[in-house]
Structure 1
Amino acid sequence: MDRNTFTGLFLIFIILVGSTYFINKDSKSILDSKKTTTTSAKKAPPVTNQTVNAPLKIDSAILSGPFGAAHSGSNQPVVLENKHLKVNISPKGGRIESVLLKEFKTYDQKPLVMFHGDDNKFGLLFNAAGINISTNDLYFTPLSDAPVSVSNQDSASVTLRLTYAENRYIDYIYSIKGDSYKVDLTIATKGMQDVIAPAQQHLTLNWEAVLEQKEKDIKSEHRYSTAYYHHKGDEVDHLDISKDDKKELGEDGSIKWISFKQHFFSNVLIAKSGFSKGVLTVNTLTQPGKVKSFTANMELPFNRQDVNTYPMEFYFGPNKFSVLKQQGYDLEKQIDMGYWPLKYVNRFIVLPVFNLLETFNWSYGLIILVLTILLKLVLSPLTYKSYLSMAKMRVLKPEMDEIKAKVGEDNPTLLQQEYLKLYKKAGVNPLGGCIPMLLQLPIVMAFFFFFPNLFELRQESFLWMKDLSTYDALITFPTIPVLNMNHISLMCILMTISTLIYTYFNNQISGATGQMKYIGYISPIVFFGILNSYPSGLNYYYFLANMLTFGQQFLIRQMVNDEKIHARIQENKKKPESAKKKSGFQKRMEDYMRQQQQKGQAATKPATGGKKK
């Protein structure tokens, strides 16, 4: 390792550490500013039970205005419940106040509530008699008592009515089926065509929610939580994941649904007739236990007729691919399967194989092992070809060193020409080891997206790993500011060690020297810093892949003999040039070298001018 190599690697290390420090410093300043705002807000007088239960004083002008009588009322929630959900509907705003998913728990084994209380808002915004109305602030009246629960085959419904006058009202009609993650909602207006301002062609549906932490790693929840939406006929898209974002929707078509998505659970609002347009906003929160806040202001077309109806559906449930697919509307596309072509590899190859293995009722650790073995078997022909190509290059290395010593490093063009002559005589393609590796890369990288977004791994244990969907902390410590790290994952350590060992043996096979040799050792250390907070299931897969690669190389080494390869290369050298088939790479390199040589000759040719004497 010469001085230049050491200097380059040292500078790379300084740049990585420095950029990480300044990025974390900027992020901290943003978080501090948000905390200051939050602290100022907290200085307001606390709301006590006495305040809540005290009689509400309402101005007489409000009582005599639109929906005057609806400014007060009972707030006893109406409950709809089935096998999966317990839904509390508040008469204030007629909104779903909270949703409990009965089959799941949070990371600390508390009841899993999608949202609750005043953090959630839902209502229509419009103008009536010159006054801006928000139905979220008004009290609806339940028309009948809804059943507390329904069986798998039954369904139940309840109607909440906001009355303006006789035969003029707004109904929220909720219904739930016995075995479903959906809650149907139909909004109906009766006789409101003369109440709502004549200039108003749309009703604005305002939906807001603050989603709380449900998983162990809140940074991971931030990474995978944002607002999604679907235009009719278009692909599912989402707002920015890494920062606060706001987007106007609907200019190019009707919006079919919007979703407030967390890592493993989603709150989706489906408009069966579509929203004409709208605005989506997402903000990252700094308060402990809070993930992100979401706001949607969606427009519903309002026709000047006696009755208008807006059929909708809520989905409250897990981000499990098969469950979301059953709901229709392409909800499963919320799950991040990676970029093209990775998402197609995951969706049409990896996921079906995983689902097949799941039918055997094995532990998920065993399923990952079998999945990795199958992957290695499928890729074994490419692995063999890559190993064979590296073995040929290793055998040729002594001759290449002789050429390098003879030509010198001062003339790289001539050196490459001599190398190409050697490759041509020996019948070796220098890229023969790279191409098989590149063909394997999409499949290997696809797992980087597959495992972190796989709901099935959530709270599933294997060996010492209590939850394969998050990191397994061997030790925890106060956060290190520069590295932004507060734990060390045992499986990530094992993965890193196995990668370092694999790099060592791979260098022995390929004969790598110089900077490439040392970069191979630096990369696993860098990836340790990245993957330390990723799911233990992902690190477990990479660890298994390394172990199985060792096994493959051991078997291949028994089949590949360097002496036989050397003898074959010497035989190729004796063949006439006409009998040797050039690879596309060799042809392109020869053409390139010829062009470079011609340019060099033209540059050194003395310039002449005028007539010779």
Structure 2
Amino acid sequence: MEEKKLDIKTIIGFGLIMVLLLWMIYGQTDKREKEAREKAKQEQLDKAKKTQIPEGTTASVITDSTATDSVKLAKLRGSLGAFAYSATLPSAKNNLTEIKNPLLTIKVANKGGYIDECTLNNFEQITKGSGKRVELIKGNNASFNLQFKTSDNRILNTQDMYFEPVKTMEGENQVLTMRLKAGENQFLEYRYVLKPNDFMLDFSIRSQGLAQVVDTSKPIDLEWGMKTYRNEKSVAFENRYTNLGYEYEEGKFDKLGLGKSDTEKVDDVSYIAFKQHLFTSVLLTDTHFKSAELTSENLVVDEKKDTIFTRKFMAKMPLAYKGGELNYNMNWYYGPADYKILNEYNKNLDEIIPLGWGIFGWINRWIFIPVFSLLSGFLPYGIGIIVFTILIRLAMSPVTYKSYLSQAKMKVLRPEITELNEKYKKDPMKKQQETMKLYSAAGVNPMAGCLPAVMQIPVFYALFQFFPSYFDLRQKSFLWADDLSSYDSVLKLPFDIPFYGNHVSLFPILASLAIFFYMKMTTGDQTMSAPQQEGMPDMSKIMKVMIYISPIMMLIFFNSNPSGLSLYYFISNLITIGIMYVIKNHIVKEDKIHALIQNNKSKPKQQGRFQKKMQEMMEQAQEQQKSKQIKK
């Protein structure tokens, strides 16, 4: 047979057969892939119907990076259960909605429905002129979450779900409604209402139609947390006045956070405040929280490194369902920790300001704050502090006069007291009796010199609380001090001195020099007026040492304190020196005091009830002592 060879026609035929086979294989593969995609799409639609997703709605609107493909979408919707409906809405992405007035700029996130940014428009961070506004909330430093259980036993957190924002106006008020939807008529709602020129927002939490999808047999947990930003020059001083305050049991107020960390559980809470020295964030509720678990953690371990945040706060409270729904009216306050502003709300918020307890707080509220507010209304703040100091010292000058007069009388009587000490050296009881008779005859009260000093303690402590807490001093300058609410550094040290710091403040130096000269002026009279008692340390030596120790202690302690406080004590000590000089050289003279005492001695004296009682007690003690000696 003749062997056939491949010709051109045979080659073309084989080529056409190969092309046909490849087309058939590709077509079948494409058909199978198309069928698989259609099947997956149908499964998704069926699953969406089961979770109450309306017909025709798809999840293609989700642009968040956590749900960019069908697999992630399925996982997300599966985890949300009944609330998977919210993941199909156009709001299911990380958008922010802004509400703003001249005081506040607030941006609320779709994810979580809580405030993502809160800026105080009129206050600058740390130093004046920086241009950076105080931001109480920024960069996920704060959280707000409701944790609840669904009817199919899922634990859900609102901070992980997307709310639908609707912004409207009610008169001059801006209203932002955030809804987390389980269906068209099933939702959880946050409602924010921002008024013009107000730091306080109305806030409400309510639900509708959730009884079918949420387990309402147990309360829902509200969790509010915040890491407080540093806003002032001294992180250590700011941290000292940063704490968590709360009102409970109809008007009682307490706080935690003064130590490294603290935890407290309290009942019947009406508001919770995360206070940052001169600013504060407050959550108030009309319906009191039945209980609250409160936690404060100090974040400043190393003052050189830990300079961004001061403390971490957390509050957890149960919200009870009523008739299967939530309905709570609340308020948010984001603004300055200013006594005058907080007091105007008539919600006991002024307790947040640490003005002191008892009489100390009373002095600040009813005397110092009104007087200084009046002065600072028409005077620069530095001058206002000086005038304020002058008024206080003038008001206290009668007390200073009585104190010095008592010292002068005791100084005149010192020779006679020394003589009595020698005469009755072996009979302490008799010596005490004769000394009391001398005081009575001369018309001298040995306690008169101590009482004025005791009377000044409430004023001293009240002022010590007033200056660090008075908001209006923030970033107000005077002379070299650029901020009267913080230290007045004139020299930065290249090293850190224990207890002193790494800077030199000038006003504490001036205050220390003033107190040194004041003590130098008065110590001699005090030691001369106080007779030396047997077995007691020599007061003259102690007072001489205190002349140097007191100014050093003031220098160290006040170096990082507000310059307004140091300015007050500098001016106060200068004025006191002047008052003492006038009293000593022009009002109270020893020869006149001596003549007055001698005149008192010549007059018959009727003992007061206290002196008479003391005399009787001494005589009884003396008789008992004699009886014991006879028996021996």
TM-score by length of 1: 0.83
Query: C-alpha displacement at 1:117, in angstroms?
Result: 2.4
How much does 1:595 deviate? 4.8
1:586 deviation in Å? 4.0
Cα distance 1:342–1:583, how it changes in 2: closer, same or farther (>3 A)?
Answer: farther
How far, CA to CA, are the matches of 1:595 and 1:116 in structure 2?
Answer: 75
Task: Output one character per residue of 1:116-137: Cα deviation in whole Å (capped at 9) or x when no partner.
Answer: 1222111211111212111011
* Pair 1:94 & 2:113 matched: yes
C-alpha distance in 2 between matches for 1:463 and 1:412: 58
CA offset at residue 302 of structure 1?
0.7
Q: Is the alpha carbon distance of 1:293 and 1:419 closer, same or farther for their aligned partners in structure 2, counting shifts above 3 Å? A: same
Contact 2:167–2:177 (Cα < 8 Å) also in 1: no
Quote how far apart the aligned CAs of 1:519 are.
5.4
Aligned residue for 1:556?
A: 583
Q: 2:384 aligns with which of 341, 363, 367?
A: 367
Once the two structures are superposed, the pairs formed by residues 204-243 of structure 1 within 5 Å of their partners are 204-231=221-248, 233-243=250-260
Could you say which residue in structure 2 is the equivalent of 1:304? 323
Residue identity opposite 1:497 in structure 2: L
Cα deviation for residue 464 of structure 1 reads 1.1
Separation in structure 2 between the aligned mates of residue 385 and residue 94 of structure 1, nearest angstrom: 65
Q: Which residue of structure 2 lines up, in the alignment, with residue 80 of structure 1?
A: 99
Label 1:84 to 1:198 Cα distance change in 2 as closer, same or farther (>3 A): closer
What secondary structure does 2:451 align onto?
helix
How far off its partner does 1:350 sit?
A: 1.4
Show CA shifts across 1:497-521 (max 9, x none). Answer: 1111111111233345424423542
Match of 2:142 among 102, 120, 123: 120
Partner residue in 2 for 1:606: 631
Identify the range of structure 1 (397-406 vs 410-419) with the bigger mean alpha-carbon deviation.
410-419
Q: For residues 270-309 of structure 1, what are the structure 2 equivalents within 5 Å?
A: 270-286=284-300, 287-305=306-324, 307-309=325-327
Tell me the distance in 2 between the aligned counterparts of 1:599 and 1:164. Answer: 90
Give the match's secondary structure for 1:248.
strand
Question: Based on CA coordinates, which of the two structures has the bigger radius of gyration?
Answer: 2
The reply to whether residue 338 of structure 1 matches residue 361 of structure 2 is no
Kept in 1, the 8 Å contact 2:480–2:490? The answer is no
**Aligned partners of 1:551 and 1:84: how far apart in 2?**
46
Distance 1:274 1:519 in 2: 56
1:392 and 2:419 aligned: no
The aligned counterpart of 1:329 is 347
Q: What one-letter code is carried by the residue in structure 1 that aligns with 2:473?
A: L
State the SS of the aligned residue for 1:288. Answer: coil
Identify if the C-alpha distance between structure 1 residues 581 and 368 changes in structure 2 by more than 3 Å, giving closer, same or farther.
farther
Partner of 1:483: 499
What is the CA–CA distance in structure 1 between the aligned matches of 2:616 and 2:570, rounded to whole Å? 43
SS in 2 for 1:94: coil
Residue among 260, 272, 277 paired with 1:263 = 277
What are the Cα deviations for residues 324-353 of structure 1, in whole angstroms up to 9, with x where unaligned? Answer: 122231111111111211100111111111
Letter of the structure 1 residue corresponding to residue 287 of structure 2: S
CA distance in 2, matches of 1:166, 1:444: 63
Q: Aligned equivalents of 1:163 and 1:232: distance in 2?
A: 35
Out of 105, 122, 130, the residue aligned to residue 153 of structure 2 is 130
Distance in 2, Cα, partners of 1:127 & 1:66: 11
- Shift in Å at residue 157 of structure 1? 1.3
Shift of 1:188: 1.7
Shift of 1:315: 0.7
Correspondent of 1:183 among 197, 201, 205: 201
SS in 2 for 1:114: strand
Q: What CA RMSD, in Å, does the superposition of the two structures yield over aligned residues?
A: 2.5
2:13 is matched with none
Contact kept in structure 2, 1:255 and 1:276, CA below 8 Å: yes
> Is the aligned partner of 1:514 residue 2:540?
yes
Aligned to 1:446: 462
Q: Which has the higher contact order (CA 8 A, sep 6+)?
A: 1
Structure 1 residue 536 displacement after superposition: 0.9
Contact map agreement 2:247 2:271 (CA 8 A) in 1 = yes
Instruction: Give how far 1:239 is off.
Output: 1.6
The residue correspondences of 1:490-529 to structure 2 (distance < 5 A) are 490-512=506-528, 513-518=539-544, 520-521=546-547, 522-529=549-556
Higher mean displacement: 187-196 or 445-454: 187-196
Query: 1:284 and 1:478, CA in 2 relative to 1: closer, same or farther beyond 3 A?
Result: farther
The alpha-carbon deviation at position 219 of structure 1 amounts to: 1.3
Structure 1 counterpart of 2:372: 354
Aligned to 2:210, the other structure's residue is in SS state coil
Give 1:269 deviation, angstroms.
Answer: 0.9
Distance in 2 (CA, whole Å) between partners of 1:240 and 1:248 is 13
1:385-440 per-position Cα deviation (integer Å, ceiling 9, x unaligned): 221111101111222233334444x7654443342232123221111121222223
- Note the alpha carbon deviations across 1:254-302, whole angstroms, 9 max, x for none: 3221111111111011112222221111111033311111111112221
Helix, strand or coil for the counterpart of 1:399? helix
Cα distance between partner residues in 1 of 2:393 and 2:106: 47
Amino acid at match of 1:138: M
Q: Is the 8 A contact 1:124 1:206 kept in 2?
A: yes
472 and 598 in structure 1: CA distance in 2 versus 1, 3 angstrom threshold = farther
The alpha carbon displacement at 1:606 in A equals 3.3
Amino acid at match of 1:124: L
Residue segments in structure 1 that go unaligned for 5+ positions in a row: 1-50, 608-613
Partner of 1:7: none
- Aligned-pair identity (%): 34
With over 3 angstroms needed to count, the CA separation of the structure-2 counterparts of 1:55 and 1:399, relative to structure 1, is farther
1:9-39 Cα offsets, whole Å, 9 max, x none, are xxxxxxxxxxxxxxxxxxxxxxxxxxxxxxx
- Aligned residue for 1:452, secondary structure, equals helix
Tell me what 2:35 maps to. Answer: none
Question: What are the superposed Cα offsets for residues 65-119 of structure 1, whole Å, 9 maximum, x if unpaired?
Answer: 2423546831111111111011010111000011000000011332210121222
Whether contact under 8 Å (1:71, 1:137) holds in the other structure is no
Q: Which amino acid aligns with 1:195?
A: V
- Paired with 2:213 and 2:495, the residues of 1 have a C-alpha distance of 58
1:468 aligns with 2:477: no
Contact persistence 1:342–1:446 (CA under 8 A): yes
- State whether residues 277 and 298 of structure 1, in contact with CA within 8 Å, keep that contact through their aligned partners in structure 2: yes
Other-structure match for 1:161: 179
Amino acid at match of 2:588: V
Structure 2 unaligned regions, length at least 5? 1-63, 301-305, 529-538
1:67 aligned counterpart, secondary structure: helix
How far did 1:564 drift?
1.2
Is 1:458 aligned to 2:474, yes or no?
Answer: yes
- Tell me which of 314, 331, 340 is aligned to 2:332: 314
Q: Which moved more, 1:522-531 or 1:114-123?
A: 522-531
- For 2:615 and 2:236, how far apart are their aligned partners in 1? 51
